[in-house]
């Protein structure tokens, strides 16, 4: 009887552990993450910094993968220096322009890009409503 009780206890412990694994392995909520960037290097040369013109960005990086608006360009496939956590998936470079010059550089994950795109769209919608009311 004692052997049977031990066997059942071990079996229950193994079953409980098996149930716990999928729960602990469940993906965490995809948080929006973005890191400020001081410059973009290419082959050891600093090619993009604040103040770089749109034309110079196009020469260095080519056309953006897509544009959130005329002043926010998106380039996938970038990585930060060794201080950036490699598991945060911030591999999309966002370049913001003011007066046709780089005013902000960020490395962001997909969730952050989506949030920023929605903020831009919301501002655009708000200005359209304000313009319509002004007429």
What is the C-alpha to C-alpha distance for residues 68 and 70, in angstroms, rounded to an integer? 7
Provide the pLDDT confidence category of residue 23 given band limits of 50, 70 and 90: very low
What is the C-alpha to C-alpha distance for residues 85 and 50, in angstroms, rounded to an integer? 24
Q: What is the DSSP letter of 109?
A: -
- Mean pLDDT (the chain, rounded): 75
| Residue 18 clears pLDDT 50, i.e. is over it | no
- What is the residue-wise DSSP string for 30-87? ----EEE-SEEEETTEEEEETT-BHHHHHHHH-S-SEEEETTEEEEES----TTS-GG
Residue 30 near residue 88, CB atoms below 8 Å: no
What is the C-alpha to C-alpha distance for residues 74 and 3, in angstroms, rounded to an integer? 65
Q: Ranked by mean pLDDT, which of 45-49, 80-84, 99-103 comes out on top?
A: 99-103
For residues 19-46, give the mean pLDDT.
67
Q: Ranked by mean pLDDT, which of 2-11, 95-104, 123-132 comes out on top?
A: 95-104
pLDDT at 53: 97
pLDDT at 73: 97
Q: pTM above 0.85? A: no
pLDDT at 105: 95
């Amino acid at each position: 009887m004692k052997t049977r009780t031990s066997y059942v206890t071990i079996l229950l412990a193994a079953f409980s552990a098996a149930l716990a694994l999928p729960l602990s392995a469940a993906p965490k909520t995809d948080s929006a993450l973005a890191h400020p960037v001081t410059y973009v290097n290419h082959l050891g040369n600093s090619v993009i910094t604040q103040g770089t013109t749109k034309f110079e960005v196009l020469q260095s990086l080519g056309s953006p993968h897509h544009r959130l608006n005329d002043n926010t360009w998106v380039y996938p496939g970038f990585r930060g220096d060794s201080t950036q956590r490699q598991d945060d998936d911030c591999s999309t470079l966002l370049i913001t322009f003011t007066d046709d010059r780089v005013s902000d550089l960020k490395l962001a994950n997909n969730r952050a890009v989506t949030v920023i795109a929605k903020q831009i769209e919301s501002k655009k919608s708000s200005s359209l409503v304000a313009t319509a009311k002004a007429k």
